Chains A and B, each alone.
Chain A
Amino acid sequence: MSTTAAGMIFIVSLVLALALVHKPLGDYMHRVYTTPRHTAVERWIYRLLGIRPDTEQSWGVYARGLLAFSLVSVLAVYGIQRLQDKLPLSVGMAPVTDHIAWNTAISFVTNTNWQSYSGESTMGHLTQMGALAVQNFVSAAVGMAVAVALVRGFARSRTEHLGNFWVDLVRGCVRILLPIAFVGAVVLVAAGVIQNFAAPHDIATLAGGHQAITGGPVASQEAIKELGTNGGGFYNANSAHPFENATSWTNWVELFLILLIPFALPRTFGRMVGQVRQGYAILAVMGVLALAGVLLTNAFELSAHATVPQAVGAAMEGKEVRFGVSNSATFGAVTTLTSTGAVNSFHDSYTPFGGMMTMVDMMLGEVAPGGVGAGLYGMLVLAVITVFVAGLMVGRTPEYLGKKIGAREIKLASMYFLVTPALVLIGTAAAMASSVQRASMLNSGPHGLSEVLYAFTSASNNNGSAFAGLTVNTPWWDVALGLCMAFGRFLPIILVLALAGSLARQSPVPASAGTLPTHRPQFVGMVVGVTIVLVALTYLPALALGPIAEGLS
């Protein structure tokens, strides 16, 4: 079978598997977030937390709880890194440098998992599992909580109540992420992903040299890293490392885990608003954009465009033999379409247009299908903008799911959309304006600009992948990208929760002949169009100077 044919079957098999599970999982998550019953474990956790699980919160209280939790999380992750040499299982690692520890704490709390460090030479086992992997769970659960709160805003009327943040957080972790991650971890170990607490040990190789074989609780972290669309590798090589991604089929499993929750949440959304077809419309938008992203990246990588891939005969630099070009391109597209940022091949060495696609995927705003939770709320904001644009065209008051999109709602949605482009473009401009920061580029010319643009795009969209040639473990980069991650995560979350609060207060508007139906292919096409137009208008000039200039030269 040809490489291209096998690669296409690989993509089709993923689509089929996701089509099979999105309904049961979406329905299950609907039950998780709507049932009034608490399990015994959860009741015990709520007692330890000292919270009353049956109290409902307004958007402000919900947001303040979320921010308090994230602040304490940052301090905890920072503290553990700084003290790791005094804690057990440090396997000889020194305390993490202050600016790297700060950047890493924000990075993992914001679900970005940008890594300005190299895992195998920086983090002890306890830091990996007790600080970083914990955030892999809870930052994902926070994303889902925000999405669910926004959906409640659409589903509920004449109320201030959006649910209880602590309950949504704990249920997301305990009922959804933990069981799937456990099964995923065991499956990965079965293929060779390691799971132990050993320190690196030296062995004499066949040729008479020495090699340090590393240890660690890798599988347990790998599973949640993909499932929670986090992406922070146990090792610097991330999912290219054979101990993280041992075989061609673990590669499939990891892609499946990445896409599992983001593609099931539209179903949960449809169930919660009482119209399953609305969920399918959102799913269709995500699916169309995702498929286009995956296929285009495959086409560009398989074409081996540009001088070095032509000399080599294939775009194999930075790619593993067991995955090959096509499955690597698929991984690269999926990891950037979701806010994962795990890599099984190194994007810096992709063909110019293949590399551009990974950037464009992120620039879409991580909505196709986006990170767990974050993808759904981002897509719903785009749907709100779309009905507004459509309303302008025909001169009617826009409404979505029976809620009026008035001045306040559209202001919140517009501000949501403006946050990341502002961070990306201002950040890139600031870095390029300084010769000191420009010196961090490994590559020169347009490709160097691409490295910087990629870094700010990845941080501000909470993705975490990189054109890894860029040297980012300096104080300037750690601080600049740390701020981008924090603002890029929490400003949109506050705006979304405010939007949810304002929607929940409204009385529903009965649908009339003038209501734009939002479950038809026409609406799907409009949302796709609005998404692409917004991205093109915002980022085309920057892309033209980077990857497009490189690809056309």
Chain B
Amino acid sequence: MKRLPSLLRRHLAALRAVAVLTVLLGLVYPVVTTGVAQALFNGHANGSIVDRDDRPVGSALIGQSFTDADGNPIRKYFQSRPSAAGDGYDPTSTGASNLGPDDVVDTLPAHGEEGRQSLLTRVCARSKAIGELEGVSGARPYCTPDGVGAVLKVFPGHAVSVNQACPAKPFVTAYKGLEVECAVPGEDYAAGRTVPIRGDAGPPQVPADAVTASGSGLDPDISVAYADLQAPRVARERGMPLDQVRDLIRSHTTGRALGFMGEPAVNVLELNLALDGK
């Protein structure tokens, strides 16, 4: 008989504890913090919104796509990094690609199915496209000249360049004496041994951040190297002296905090706004 009341008493105390602590920590704390934040750092607390002609055009902290309706880069703007957030830079669907470091084999589109690009092929395709846009070589290690992952599936009698759908010409003709074939969409090559081929590409001219998706999918920044790569194209499109564009890059570069935290970064939205203002 004595157990039940103590059990009840305990759970009643627990119920009150949850209620009291919810009011204190779940209402008073965030409301007071909001009050202080709004009073002291109004702009920051509300999302660092940047205006043009008194109209908000974005947040200084949230990256944007600078592409046209068809998804092609708008050439007068600096381009952001690839994004895995929704259809790109969608704050209601943030996140990363989550593809692993050895995700190298594509599923080719076949029989009406969409297929899936491996992380390697995504990297290679982006590198090739950016190389063409900026007029430099988009070549990278482990990439074929046509911009997919250079990966073989090796079988006892032959080898298949799995990411190159027939009738593409395989990036190598032979591997260790075996003839290399193009891949037949829909064919199952899972049984073969996966062999990525490094090739003889030197250090890539398209920087690392340009060919990878960020963690948030909202990365507002690009590296200084990627900004420098884009500068000649932007200068040309706008008829501006290259030096002026480079100066703007410098003035929109945030160095490492205190000289050692993080990496130098160029804010793309603010840089493009500054260009539009010239």
Contact = CB atoms under 8 A, between A and B. Distances in A.
A173 B18 CA distance: 12
A290 interface: no
Interface stretch (A243-251, A507-515, A527-535): A243-251
B170 interface: no
A247 B254 CA distance: 10
B93 A469 contact: no
B47 to A, nearest CB: 5
Given A178-B25, A308-B123, A69 B14 contact: yes
Given A138-B25, A321-B222, A346-B215, A315 B101 contact: yes
Interface string B1-16: 0000000011111111
Contacts of B66: 206-207
Given A316-B209, A317-B213, A203 B57 contact: yes
B183 interface: no
A207 B20 contact: no
B21 A138 contact: yes
A129 B273 CA distance: 35
B22 A185 contact: no
Interface in A438-485: 442-443, 445, 447, 450, 467-469
Contact of B221 (A49, A322, A469): A322
A312 B127 CA distance: 9
A242 B219 CA distance: 7
Nearest to B43: A192
Contacts of B101: 305-309, 315, 317, 349-352, 355, 447, 550
A27 interface: no
B44 interface: yes
Interface of B: 9-18, 20-22, 24-27, 29-30, 32-34, 36-38, 40-41, 44-49, 52, 55-69, 74, 77, 81, 85, 89-104, 119-120, 123-124, 140-143, 149, 194, 196, 198, 203-204, 207-209, 211-223, 254, 256-263, 265, 269, 272-273, 276
- In the A-B complex, the 9 residue pairs with the smallest Cβ-Cβ separation, listed nearest first, are A248-B262, A240-B215, A324-B263, A469-B98, A346-B96, A237-B94, A306-B101, A130-B26, A242-B61
A470 to B, nearest CB: 8
B56 A189 contact: no
Contacts of A71: 11, 14
Interface stretch (A213-221, A376-384, A414-422): A213-221
Contact of B81 (A45, A134, A196, A321): A321
A311 B209 CA distance: 12
B65 A251 contact: no
Interface residues of A, number: 122
B145 to A, nearest CB: 14
Given A242-B61, A307-B196, A206 B257 contact: no
Contacts of A10: 260-261
B274 to A, nearest CB: 11
A297 to B, nearest CB: 14
Contacts of B96: 237, 240, 317-318, 345-346, 348-349, 468
Contacts of B142: 307-308, 310-311
B151 to A, nearest CB: 8
Contacts of A548: none
Given A118-B95, A212-B92, A306-B102, A317 B212 contact: yes
Contacts, number: 393
A550 to B, nearest CB: 6
A311 B124 contact: yes
Given A68-B13, A240-B215, A345-B215, 5 more contacts: A178-B24, A213-B56, A219-B45, A252-B261, A316-B212
A12 B20 CA distance: 41
Contact of B16 (A48, A221, A240, A450): A48
Interface stretch (A1-9, A96-104, A388-396, A425-433): A1-9
Nearest to A354: B101
B262 A247 contact: yes
B62 A207 contact: no
B22 to A, nearest CB: 5
A209 interface: yes
Given A51-B13, A65-B14, A237-B95, A205 B120 contact: no
Nearest to B9: A50
Q: Which of B48, B254, B276 has the most CB of A within 10 A?
A: B48
15 contacts: A68-B13, A72-B17, A138-B25, A178-B25, A186-B40, A213-B58, A217-B30, A243-B61, A247-B262, A251-B261, A312-B211, A315-B101, A318-B215, A324-B263, A550-B102
A280 interface: no
A282 interface: no
B257 A252 contact: yes
Contact of B98 (A49, A129, A315, A318): A318
A243 B216 CA distance: 10
Contacts of A170: 17, 21
A237 B37 contact: no
A264 interface: no
A412 interface: no
Contacts of A240: 96, 214-216
Given A1-B260, A196-B45, A313-B208, A130 B36 contact: no
A324 B262 contact: yes
A48 to B, nearest CB: 5
B61 A192 contact: yes
Contacts of B208: 312-314, 316
Contact of B61 (A185, A246, A469): A246
